[in-house]
Structure 1
Amino acid sequence: MGLEMFASQSTQANAFDMDAEFVAQSGAQTALKNQGIYNGMLGALLVASAFLPAGQVKVMAQLGLALFVLIVGIFGGLTATKKIFLVQALPAAITIALGLLAY
């Protein structure tokens, strides 16, 4: 969320493997901010799910959100930059695996 919404354009270009000229465009900035708020709200839902009462609903909510992150990470890795596999899809896959083992 921080990178997409608040980082400098040069930091954004480096983080997302985009041309600096592209990142400087107002449409790209709007898209990045939209992506940032979306990711921030997803993170807020993951944190909020920690406060659900223990049980199947909590586990399914958390695993469902992690599965969502995994699917989006795979799509991003295939379509945007391979780095997304490492920073988004892999942590989600580990989260799902550990969650299933714990359940």
Structure 2
Amino acid sequence: MSILAKFLILLVALEHFYILYLEMYGTESKTTQKMFNLDLEFLRDERVKKMLGNQGLYNGFLASGLIWSLIEATEYQVQIAVFFIVCIICAAFYGSVTVSKRIFILQGVPAILALIALLLPLLIS
């Protein structure tokens, strides 16, 4: 796996750990209000907090999978990375269709760049 691919995967993982933080622990923060375009009253609703916590947990699983791919020392390293990156791309596409096009730009584009960096050496060899 190239240094560029590792760097981009790390950035995507860090982004998703940050989303985990916002959705699970920073629910009422100004950043969460701005990022998700939601008002504070809505974010204070316990049902919304539970829903966001669930979403945050999934983002944490995706980020953890990417970190796993970076420390994996077997021939499956690239396959693990591809799986988790493709999951993120699918989630970003779904989010862009159902919620906001901004989701694809912020989450999908970095993941696509990481996927290209992962697969490019395989395609040109």
TM-score (norm 1): 0.88
CA contact (8 A) 1:17 1:81 kept: no
**Structure 1: gaps of 5 or more residues:** none
- Runs of 4+ aligned structure 1 residues displaced above 6 Å come to none
3-state secondary structure, aligned to 1:7: coil
- Greater relative contact order structure (CA < 8 Å, 6+ sep): 2
Residue 8 of structure 1, CA deviation: 4.7
In structure 2, what is the equivalent of residue 96 of structure 1? 115
Does residue 19 (structure 1) correspond to residue 56 (structure 2)? The answer is no
Residue 63 of structure 1, CA deviation: 0.8
**Structure 2: gaps of 5 or more residues:** 1-19
CA contact (8 A) 2:88 2:111 kept: yes
- CA distance, structure 1, for counterparts of residue 26 and residue 71 of structure 2: 30
- Of 50, 68, 83, which aligns to 1:30? 50
| Alignment length (residue pairs) | 102
Amino-acid identity (%) = 28
Coordinate RMSD, CA, aligned: 1.5
Partner letter of residue 41 of structure 1?
F
Matches within 5 A, 1:1-103: 1-9=20-28, 10-55=30-75, 57-103=76-122
- CA distance, structure 1, for counterparts of residue 95 and residue 38 of structure 2: 14
Partner letter of residue 42 of structure 2?
F
